[in-house]
Structure 1
Amino acid sequence: MAERYSSFTRGGTNWFLQRVTAAFLIVVLAFHFFQLHFVNHAADVTFMGTQARMENVGYFLTMVLFLIAGTFHGVNGVYNALVNQGLEGTPKKVVLAVLVLAGIALIVQGIWVAVAMAGWT
């Protein structure tokens, strides 16, 4: 039988954060779908309605945390999938740097948009 390999160190910080962000994303994604598909139907979602929701500090913080958790979870998952496929050495360092920079850029851009949508600019 093939041996199971994972780049995650069981019980390590990245292993733990991958699971915590997964649980958080499931809960917030359910809230997001409920809010934007049942409370406000897709046809009723407008720019002004989005601005009104983002002006609520609780909603704003939830969406920013959703962005950060989703970005970390995705970047960490892609990186570890590549490591599990045998990525090592210099290419591993380059991929890590590119993914970290892309993740940071995504978070900065997302927070910038969230702040603008909240009318705090």
Structure 2
Amino acid sequence: MAERYSSFQSGSMTWFLQRVTAAFLVVVLAFHFFLLHFVHHPAEVTFAGTQGRMSDWGYFLTMTLFLITATFHGVNGVYAALVNQGLSGSQQTAVKWVLVVAGVLLAGQGTYVALVMNGMI
């Protein structure tokens, strides 16, 4: 049998957060998909409708957490996959910081858009 290798140490904080964010994303993605594909038909999703939904604090907080959680989960997953493929040394450090900066910029831009859609900015 092939040996199982993972860059995540079982029980580490990144291991734990990857699983917690996955569980959260499954639930919120189902809510998001149901709301925007069954409650509101995709052809009916408009800028004004989005502003209306984002003005509801529960929806706003859920979608903002969705964005931040998905960003962390994706960036952490890409980093782990690269480490599993043998990335190490200074290349690993460089990739880690590029992913951190990209993740912060993505979460920041998405949060800014959410705040604009909410009417706070």
Give the TM-score taking structure 1 as reference length.
0.99
Displacement, 1:39? 0.5
Matched residues, number: 121
Identity of aligned residues (%): 68
Distance in 2 (alpha carbons) for counterparts of 1:3 and 1:44: 50
The 5 Å alignment of 1:7-26 reads 7-26=7-26
Distance in 2 (alpha carbons) for counterparts of 1:23 and 1:10: 17
Distance in 1 (alpha carbons) for counterparts of 2:30 and 2:84: 30
Instruction: Check if 1:120 corresponds to 2:110.
Output: no
Which residue identity does 2:18 align to in structure 1? Q
Match of 2:43 in 1: 43
Distance in 1 (alpha carbons) for counterparts of 2:22 and 2:120: 30
What are structure 1's unaligned runs of at least 5 residues? none
Displacement, 1:3? 1.4
CA root-mean-square deviation: 0.5
The 5 Å alignment of 1:1-121 reads 1-121=1-121
What are structure 2's unaligned runs of at least 5 residues? none
Give the TM-score taking structure 2 as reference length.
0.99
